[in-house]
Amino acid sequence: MMIVLSISGQYYDTAKKCNTLNQEAIMGYISFLKERNVKEVTINSYLRGTRVIFSYFMEMGYTKPFKITLIKTEKTIKPTYTDYELQLLLKKPDLNKCNFSEYRNWVIVNYLLATGNRASTVSNLKIENIDFSNETIILTKTKNRKQQIIPLSRSLVQILRDYLKYRKGSNDDYLFCNTYGNRLTVYALQHTIYLYNKSKGVLKTSLHLFRHTFAKKWILNGGDIFRLQKILGHSSLDMVKEYVNMFSEDLHQNFNEFNPLEQFTTVKKYMPMKR
């Protein structure tokens, strides 16, 4: 077996130099990446991949056991679409005047906001994945490579029903296709939504922002984080907790209105005093 890794800017032939792979080498690798201004999030992605390979080396006895720890990163508040931007994007086009692409893009935006799905998941959806009877959809392409079933909102069910009457196609066809009926690749999906958003006067064009917006709206509307975890397909609550922390400022909205103490305090103000 011959595997080559880049650690600290040097190449190691693992068939001969596994004994030199240790925690010190990993620290050197991190320093090497930081000197080249690689983002902390990207460094952690590299470390996760490295950790998988090294776990195998340790299991096979190629190298002595040691722990690879991810570096601490600064948590930044992820941008989301504003209510005004969503109103612009969700305004239904006139089917008598628009072309298929514009209508399809409008449906995609509705789908993204209603599900929080990743671009790769949306790109691989097929018509047969939709179960209108149970108002669910089967996600066959997910980040953790596990099939997932999520509910569809009532509004989205109707939007998809109308869309499929317009789009037609057989069960094994892709749900969101190009004008030739072929699958929209992730790149094509990103590009077409970029153009759609621009045409609506919205400067934000990222597909992933719909995922952040879904999470934010879910939390602010009082949705529980356990169901949010399942819907977004996260293996743990860690990312969901990050969402809660990121949008903590927004949790102040209507805080007094929903706060139990404020409710009782308000009642006491207007209760007649007993004599």
Question: 70 pLDDT exceeds 70?
Answer: yes
- Checking phi first, is residue 91 left (phi over 0); if not, alpha (psi -120 to 50) or beta? beta
Handedness of CA 111, 117, 122, 126 (dihedral sign): negative
Whether 51 shows a pLDDT value over 90: the answer reads no
d(CA 66, CA 54) in angstroms, rounded, equals 9
pLDDT at residue 12 tops 60: no
CA-nearest of 116, 167, 162 to 137 is 116
Quick one: pLDDT band at residue 57, thresholds 50, 70, 90? confident
Q: Which domain holds residue 44?
A: 4-60
Together in a domain, 110 and 163 = yes
100 and 38 co-located in one domain = no
pLDDT value of position 48: 84
Evaluate whether residue 50 is within a structural domain: yes
Identify the pLDDT of residue 252: 63
117 and 55 in a common domain: no
Instruction: Please state, in angstroms and rounded to a whole number, the distance separating the CA atoms of residues 210 and 143.
Output: 17
| Cα 272 from Cα 159, distance rounded (Å) | 52
Say how many C-beta atoms besides its own lie within 10 A of residue 182's C-beta.
Answer: 11
Phi, psi of 139 (to 5 degrees): -95, 115
Q: How far is CA 243 from the centre of its chain?
A: 11
Asked if residue 135 is part of any domain, the answer here is yes
Do 51 and 108 lie in one domain? The reply is no
Give mean pLDDT, residues 226-255.
74
Backbone angles phi, psi at 6, to 5 degrees: -100, 110
Question: What pLDDT score does 215 carry?
Answer: 87
Q: Give the total number of structural domains in the chain.
A: 2
Q: Answer whether residue 66 is part of any domain.
A: no
- Whether residue 75 has pLDDT greater than 90: no
User: Nearest 5 degrees, angle CA 133-CA 138-CA 141?
Assistant: 165
Contact 235, 229 (CB under 8 A): no
Structure-block tokens of residue 138: 């089967």
**pLDDT confidence of 255, banded at 50, 70, 90?**
low
Q: What is the CATH number of the domain that holds 230?
A: 1.10.443.10
Q: Which residues pair with 137 in a beta bridge?
A: 130, 150
Per-residue pLDDT for 250 more than 70? no
Instruction: Give residue 114's pLDDT.
Output: 94
Are 33 and 150 found together in one domain? Answer: no
**163-221: per-residue pLDDT in tens?**
999 999 999 999 999 988 899 999 999 999 999 999 999 999 999 999 989 988 888 88
Q: Dihedral, CA atoms, 160, 162, 163, 165, nearest 10 degrees?
A: 120
Residue 188 lies in a domain: yes
**pLDDT for position 274:** 56
**pTM for this model (two decimals):** 0.70
Same-domain pairing of 101 and 27? no
Q: Which residues of 208-229 are buried (b: 16+ CB within 10 A; e: fewer)?
A: ebbbbbbbbbbbeeeeebeebb
Q: Is residue 229 part of a domain?
A: yes
The pLDDT of residue 3 is above 70: no
Residue 76 pLDDT grade (very low, low, confident, very high; cuts 50, 70, 90): low
Is there a single domain that holds both residue 19 and residue 109?
Answer: no
Higher pLDDT, 26 or 266: 26
Q: pLDDT above 70 covers what percent of the chain?
A: 80
* pLDDT at residue 9, as a whole number: 46
Give yes or no: residues 135 and 244 share one domain.
yes
Question: Do residues 130 and 15 both lie within one domain?
Answer: no
259 lies in some domain? no
Say if residues 209 and 81 touch (Cβ distance below 8 Å): yes
